[in-house]
Amino acid sequence: MNILKFIENFPDETSCRQHFKNKREAEGIKCKKCECTTHYWLKNKWQWQCKDCKFRTTLRSGTIMENSNLPFLLWYKCIAFMTMSKKGISALEMQRQLGHKRYDTVWLMMHKIRSAMGLRDDLYKLEGMVELDEGYFTKGIRKGSKPKRGRGSQVKSNVAVMAESTEIEDVETGEKSRQCRYFKMRVLENHMAGSIEQAVEDNIEFESIILSDKSTSYVNLSDYVEVHIQQKSDKQTTVELLKWVHVAISNAKRWLLGIHHMVKGKYLQNYLNEFCYKLNRRYFGPKLFDRVIIATAKSYW
């Protein structure tokens, strides 16, 4: 979706509402009260009515827009800007582009879109060969310490990074390389083994093979997947066995630094959701916009 196509497809509020309605119907409307999935559309009210219990569902209810009074057109523009640029966009720049008077409103809208992206990716688990490692992301400066004191004063978040990675062999040269598919990143609560085990259980199918280094917090991972292969951490491991997780970690860090500067700890997961969502759909091109609309049109009850 480029800006000209956007203006053509979504010239006003009604065109956005109609589009959103179609996407919700394609996903299926489920009654919050009785879980019935057959509904009538009340044209004048812009609401669905349950066939069984007559309970009404508004266009926004159940979705991430539920408590928002902002026009659909503003949400649509925001999603368009977020998906149009590969590099991403800061809340301040978004506020400027949208011409909206309040920074915090725009900031919150972007975070809601990021959480919809995260919920969408949570529907899938990684499978097959999965590389696993941890990345350390700066989440702020420790209170009371001077930033100049160097690395000691920075607070770091520990993030589990997982990447589906398949080994392929060149038929002619016999050279082996690893090809990547889907990625996931999870902010860990602490450095304990239990925290990483939970991340593995939540994000990787049991019938998988995990590749990792020999960190002591990984000793029990074979309980959570079929096979766990550990290799001593050295330069070779970094470029071969754990190639894609390391590429993803350094790209995510550069992306965060470039646009979002200092990310507060509790929002880090949301930023990583956006990063992974886009990375996992890197070949979608102009279709990405439509996919994000589908993610926001989903009701979570």
Which of 15, 36, 119, 198 is the binder for Zn ion (CB under 5 A)? 36
Q: Looking at beta carbons only, is 33 or 264 nearer to Zn ion?
A: 33
* Binding segment toward Zn ion, per CB under 5 A, in 42-50, 83-91, 195-203, 252-260: 42-50
Q: Looking at beta carbons only, is 31 or 80 nearer to Zn ion?
A: 31
Tokens of 6: 């956007």
Closest approach of Cβ 56 to Zn ion, in Å?
9
Q: Looking at beta carbons only, is 29 or 78 nearer to Zn ion?
A: 29
DSSP per-residue letters across 87-108:
S---HHHHHHHHT-S-HHHHHH
C-alpha 267/C-alpha 108 separation (Å) is 11
Q: Looking at beta carbons only, is 55 or 284 nearer to Zn ion?
A: 55
Q: Looking at beta carbons only, is 55 or 267 nearer to Zn ion?
A: 55
* Binding segment toward Zn ion, per CB under 5 A, in 31-39, 87-95, 163-171, 293-301: 31-39
Q: Is 163 one of the binding residues for Zn ion (CB under 5 A)? A: no
Contact 41, 17 (CB under 8 A): no
Pairing of strands 176-187, 154-169: antiparallel
Closest approach of Cβ 290 to Zn ion, in Å?
29
Q: Is 33 one of the binding residues for Zn ion (CB under 5 A)? A: yes
Q: Is 31 one of the binding residues for Zn ion (CB under 5 A)? A: yes
What number of chain residues touch Zn ion (CB under 5 A)?
A: 8
- Mark out the alpha helices in the chain (DSSP H runs): 3-9, 13-27, 72-84, 91-98, 103-121, 193-203, 235-239, 243-255, 268-280, 288-297
Q: Looking at beta carbons only, is 55 or 107 nearer to Zn ion?
A: 55
Q: Is 32 one of the binding residues for Zn ion (CB under 5 A)? A: no
Residues comprising the chain, all counted: 301
Tokens of 237: 């491991």
Among residue numbers 51 through 110, which ones bind Zn ion (CB under 5 A)? 52-53, 55
Q: Looking at beta carbons only, is 49 or 231 nearer to Zn ion?
A: 49
Closest approach of Cβ 68 to Zn ion, in Å?
24
Burial of 12 (0-12, 13-18, 19+ CB in 10 A): exposed
C-alpha 23/C-alpha 176 separation (Å) is 43
DSSP state of 218: G
Q: Is 50 one of the binding residues for Zn ion (CB under 5 A)? A: yes
C-alpha 76/C-alpha 9 separation (Å) is 11
Contact 72, 13 (CB under 8 A): yes
* Binding segment toward Zn ion, per CB under 5 A, in 35-43, 119-127, 171-179, 266-274: 35-43
Burial of 265 (0-12, 13-18, 19+ CB in 10 A): middle
Closest approach of Cβ 296 to Zn ion, in Å?
23
Q: Looking at beta carbons only, is 38 or 250 nearer to Zn ion?
A: 38
Closest approach of Cβ 52 to Zn ion, in Å?
5
Which of 3, 34, 42, 239 is the binder for Zn ion (CB under 5 A)? 34
Residues that bind Zn ion (CB under 5 A): 31, 33-34, 36, 50, 52-53, 55
